[in-house]
Structure 1
Amino acid sequence: MRKIAPIATFLSVSFGLSWLIALPLWFGVGEGPASPIFLVFALAMMFTPAIAALVVVFFVEKHPDGLSRRRALGLGSVRPVGRFLRYLALALVVPPALILAALLVGAAVGVYPADFVNFSGFQEMVDAQLAALGQAPLPVPIVLLVAAQFVNVLIGSIINTIPALGEELGWRGWLLPKLLPLGIVPAILISGVIWGLWHAPLILLGYNYVDAPGWLALTAMVGMTIVIGAVFSWLRIRSASVWPAALAHGAFNAAAGFSLVFVMAGETFSPLEATILGWTGWLVPLALVIVLLATGQFRAPAPRDSALPAESASIAGAE
């Protein structure tokens, strides 16, 4: 019962607050997922897992000092610094790479109409936006604007890390180590399902999967959060810190718009099939996770270096 109470409290607070924050959207506030007000509510929701984790750490587990609280949240020591920086670098590179790989796979399978040469869809979108503002088309090659998107992803990754930490402090910072005694694969699956279902207040309103039935959209979201959550879990465990997972989450969100950069003009695609949201987009991250599992890359660092709680560090190392 003592082990179940913290997790039950965490889930109750994180899910309860997310539905409470999203409730105005269900009563017609905003004009759907594309409206700015909708995104404001979505941003506010991102902090609910962190609030839930803090509630548990302070009031349920009642850690006696700041150090134990920081460790419980994945905010302990970042030493050795070299290891920490290495996984920060991977966190910045791997999620955008997976999103780009999803587009390549989708194009190869035929579910994503790509234009990787002329960027016609992106050109069409930029021209339409400028025309709506009453401005002439930009006198620069579209390829330069495409290159600028990669710079924007780098900047956006850093900016997005703060709201992403609102989620990661809960999912990978606090929850994942609590599930690791079950084994790494069950921990990844359970935390991924929880992360996906937590999105229900937005997904059921059409977020990410506009035209899909609610049950199918939520199922697809859970599929995506399992495979991507596994990658974030790898960064969390190997770095012994929540920060690489938070940066990876920020980079993932920043790079999500790549699907609009490389689409062919006049074409559409289903997020159930294409991009990182669809099944073809899960193939590369799933393959990566399988390789990481097979090569023992989900083992926690040596106990003397680990900021994970001792109970989970030993289990993660056993696999």
Structure 2
Amino acid sequence: MAHRIAVVVLDDFAPLDLGIPGQVFWAARDRDGNHLYEVVTCSVGGAPVRTNAGYRVLPDHGLEVLDSADTVLVPGVHGGPAMLTGTIPPALGEALQGRPRVMSICTGAFVLGAAGLLDGRPATTHWMNASRFRRLFPKVLLDPDVLFVDDGDVLTSAGVASGLDLCLHVIRRDHGSEVANRTARRCVMPPWREGGQAQYIDRPLPEANGSGTAATRDWMLERLQEPLDLAALAEHARMSVRTFTRRFREETGLSPARWLALQRVEQARHLLETTDLAVAQVARRSGFGTAVSLRQHLHAAVGVSPLAYRQTFRRS
């Protein structure tokens, strides 16, 4: 018998998040071509629900279908009580309790959080909503840098397309790599993505505010490819090393060395995205000196190698 997955939709849900499980799990088949999963869609009372794209869908089921589901999946939502106040309809909160396995895509984690299913557990959601999530659900161990979190019977994924990664992970967990790889080929998608959500986060360089160590930070940004030691930085700021270090941390939350390394990573990311420079050249221009050093720092920051990063983001 096929494993039944019930997808629960609320008003203002993300259409792609609903389509992902229907497509990916539908494509998962055994060697004889038999479907391994059945995907059904439900809503509170079986009522029509709005997407955030200007149309409605009419689920075939109400929440009673959850009683026959092996897995419950909640797509992302845009706004609404789950994201604004951390609340969901009481009927849904009760219906989500005690299920064998529960999953969320993107901001669907807000629904699981509102149901109390994530308290004390590791979880993730879209990086842009991480701060709001932490305010609403402080008991959750949120990690906004990963593509998905598997905590056994509760699984959460990051923004939008990471739902693909999570669904493939579940197929791999349920049926092994051969089935997952075959499913990925059928869906024309990579069977595994390196790195995490951190590589997609937009971190613009900070703007100087004209006080404290700001002028020296500007000076550092203009000389990323040069060797910059703490003594030179303090001299430029006309402070003692101790005072400079203290003020720098007060203003940025980081040590000068850590801040400089992050800016060099950002410069390397920019060069990898926008130029055809060899990795060794990118390393020199961003201040890492060698390709080995660049690989180490980039992998620590975003979880992938320079070449993998370029393949993902290089504009054709």
- Structure in which a larger fraction of residues adopt helix: 1
- Structure in which a larger fraction of residues adopt strand: 2
TM-score (norm 1): 0.25
TM-score (norm 2): 0.25
